[in-house]
C-alpha cells in the first residue's frame, strides 16, 4: 500500500493559493483515476482510494490546515501500518522558482511548516515532490502572505497544463517503485543537472 498526501488548507477561500498546490496535484491525480474524496474524520483528511497495477493507493488531503499536516499523516500510517518510505508528500516550495519541480527522498523541512509537522510525526523518510511557487513578488512580500496569496491567471494555466502532468508522472513513478531524486524546470524545459 502507498499513501500520497497533498498539502494545503481545507477552506474554499484558500483555493488557487500557492499553499494549496499539493491539493491541486492530488485532485488531478484522483480525477485521472476516477476517484472521489470523502471526509474521514478519524484520519483528519479527505481520502480517496485507487488501485494501480494491483497496488492499493490512498490519496489524502489533510483538513488539519497546512502547518499541522503531521497529525493526519500519523493517523493514516498508524491505522494502515504504512512505513514512511511508502508515503509521498506533494507540496509547494517557497525556496524554488515557479515552474521548478524537484523530487527528493527524506531530508529536512527546508523551512516548510507542513513538512516540519510531518517530520515531527515520524515522516523524515517520506518521499516528496516539491513544487516551486516563488516569483518576482516573493522578495517584497512576507512569506505567509505570499504562500496564502493566489496564483496569477497565467500561473494557474501553467500549473494545470504544464506542471501537473509532469507531477502526475512522478506520482506514478513513486507508486511503481521507480521514484528518484530529480529536478525539472520549465525555464529550461528540460531536467536540471
Domain boundaries, the chain: 2-191
**Which pairing describes strands 100-105 and 38-40: parallel, antiparallel, or unpaired?**
unpaired
> Which residue is associated with the grid cell 511557487?
133
pLDDT above 90: percentage of residues in the chain: 91
Catalytic annotation present for 19? yes
Residues near 126 by beta carbon (within 8 Å), at least 6 away in sequence:
73, 84, 85, 87, 88, 89, 106, 118
Task: Spot the catalytic one: 19, 33, 91, 137.
Answer: 19
pLDDT at 84: 96
Query: Is pLDDT of 40 > 70?
Result: yes
Query: Is pLDDT of 90 > 90?
Result: yes
pLDDT at 186: 87
Residue 58 phi, psi (nearest 5):
-95, 130
> Which residue is associated with the grid cell 502547518?
67
pLDDT at 192: 46
Query: Is pLDDT of 19 > 90?
Result: yes
Give CATH for domain 2-191: 3.40.50.1470
> Apex CA 158: angle with CA 36 and CA 128, to 5°?
60
- Which among 154, 3, 193, 178 is positioned nearest to 89, based on CA atoms? 3
Report residue 187's pLDDT band, with 50, 70 and 90 as the boundaries. confident
CA atoms within 13 A on the CB side of 75: 19
Region 11-37 average pLDDT: 96
Report residue 193's pLDDT band, with 50, 70 and 90 as the boundaries. very low
Residues near 111 by beta carbon (within 8 Å), at least 6 away in sequence:
94, 95
DSSP 6: E
Edge-to-edge order in the sheet of strand 87-97: 38-40, 45-52, 55-62, 2-6, 87-97, 127-134, 100-105, 182-185, 190-191
Note the pTM of the prediction, 2 decimals.
Answer: 0.94
pLDDT at 61: 98
Amino acid at each position: 500500500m502507498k499513501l500520497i498526501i497533498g498539502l494545503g488548507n481545507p477552506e474554499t477561500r484558500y483555493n488557487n493559493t500557492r499553499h494549496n498546490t499539493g491539493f491541486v496535484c492530488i485532485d488531478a491525480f484522483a480525477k485521472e483515476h476516477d476517484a472521489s474524496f470523502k471526509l474521514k474524520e478519524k484520519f483528519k483528511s479527505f481520502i480517496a482510494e485507487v488501485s494501480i497495477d494491483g497496488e492499493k493507493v490512498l490519496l489524502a488531503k489533510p483538513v488539519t490546515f497546512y502547518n499541522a499536516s503531521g497529525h493526519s499523516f500519523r493517523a493514516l500510517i498508524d491505522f494502515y501500518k504504512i512505513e514512511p518510505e511508502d508515503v509521498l508528500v506533494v507540496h509547494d516550495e517557497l525556496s524554488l522558482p515557479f515552474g521548478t519541480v524537484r523530487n527528493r527522498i527524506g531530508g529536512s523541512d527546508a523551512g516548510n511548516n507542513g513538512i516540519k509537522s510531518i517530520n515531527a510525526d515520524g515522516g523524515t523518510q517520506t518521499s516528496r515532490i516539491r513544487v516551486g511557487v516563488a516569483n518576482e513578488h516573493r522578495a517584497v512580500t512576507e512569506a505567509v502572505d505570499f504562500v496564502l496569496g493566489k496564483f496569477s491567471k497565467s500561473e494557474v494555466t501553467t500549473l494545470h497544463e504544464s506542471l501537473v502532468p509532469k507531477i502526475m508522472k512522478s506520482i506514478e513513478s513513486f507508486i511503481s517503485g521507480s521514484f528518484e531524486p530529480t529536478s525539472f524546470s520549465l525555464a529550461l524545459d528540460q531536467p536540471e543537472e
